[in-house]
Amino acid sequence: MTKVAIFASGSGSNFDSIMSKIEQGLLPQIEVTALYTDQVNAYCIERARKYNLDVHINELKNFDSKADYERKIIEWLTAEKVEWIILAGYMKLIGENILNAYQRRILNIHPSLLPKYKGKDAIGQALASGDTQTGTTVHYVDSGMDTGEIIEQRTCDIYPDDSKALLEARIKAIEHEFYPEVISKIIQ
């Protein structure tokens, strides 16, 4: 089995969907060692309890530098023999130490059809653009913000009367099926 770590900063619905697929036996090749989060109050921590999963909470503000913050993460990753990292709403750029240790072994999901609407509030950006379609992208992670090599995308219609909340809910519903499918193909 391939050991993976999931990184999340927020609600963790994508994290939850991956864990639930594992519980259903749909990702038999993967073992999640722990949830890694940079937010002490993030709801993803509650979700991890449901799966009896270890949680590593690591706040950047407790370190002198991003490099020191990531050194702590690397200590845990090494101790757990983690082979792949799955970002699921982790809202920090990955620094060079982790990138060097996990080249082409870090996946991210981003709620737009990259290269459109990188960075924060991708859904708001798509809504404001007047586009009639947006979507979600799974990509390898590099040092840029949502710039790594694209693996696969799914589209989602934008309706004239859409609100951000409605569009976000539709995109997340797609992500919850799509991300585990791509993970299953890429991590063997």
Amino acid at 100: N
Per-residue contact track with ligand GAR, 111 to 150, x per CB under 6 A? x----------x-------------x---------x----
92 appears as a binding residue in the annotation: yes
Distance, first Cα to last Cα, the chain: 9
Name the segment binding ligand GAR (CB under 6 A); options: 10-18, 23-31, 47-55, 78-86: 10-18
Catalytic residue at 110?
Answer: yes
Token pair belonging to 120: 């924060």
Smaller CB distance to ligand GAR: residue 64 or 149?
A: 149
* The one among 5, 8, 106, 126 contacting ligand GAR by CB under 6 A: 8
Smaller CB distance to ligand GAR: residue 69 or 179?
A: 179
Which residues inside 66-105 make contact with ligand GAR, applying CB under 6 A? 88-89
Task: Calculate the alpha carbon distances from 122 to 6, 10, 126 in Å.
Answer: 21, 16, 6
Closest distance to ligand GAR from the beta carbon of 145 (Å): 7
Smaller CB distance to ligand GAR: residue 79 or 93?
A: 93
Residues 94, 49: Cα–Cα separation, whole Å: 26
Per-residue contact track with ligand GAR, 150 to 179, x per CB under 6 A? ----------------------x--x----
The burial class, CB within 10 Å (0-12 / 13-18 / 19+), for 120 is exposed
The gap from C-alpha 90 to its chain's centroid, in whole angstroms, comes to 6
In terms of Cα–Cα distance, which of 82, 112, 108, 78 is closest to 94? Answer: 108
- With residues binned 3-state (H G I as helix, E B as strand, rest as coil), the percentages for the chain, rounded to 5, are 40, 25, 40
User: Which parts are annotated binding residues?
Assistant: 12-14, 66, 91-94, 108
Residues that bind ligand GAR (CB under 6 A): 8, 10-14, 88-89, 109-111, 122, 136, 146, 172, 175
- Tell me which residues are annotated as active site: 110
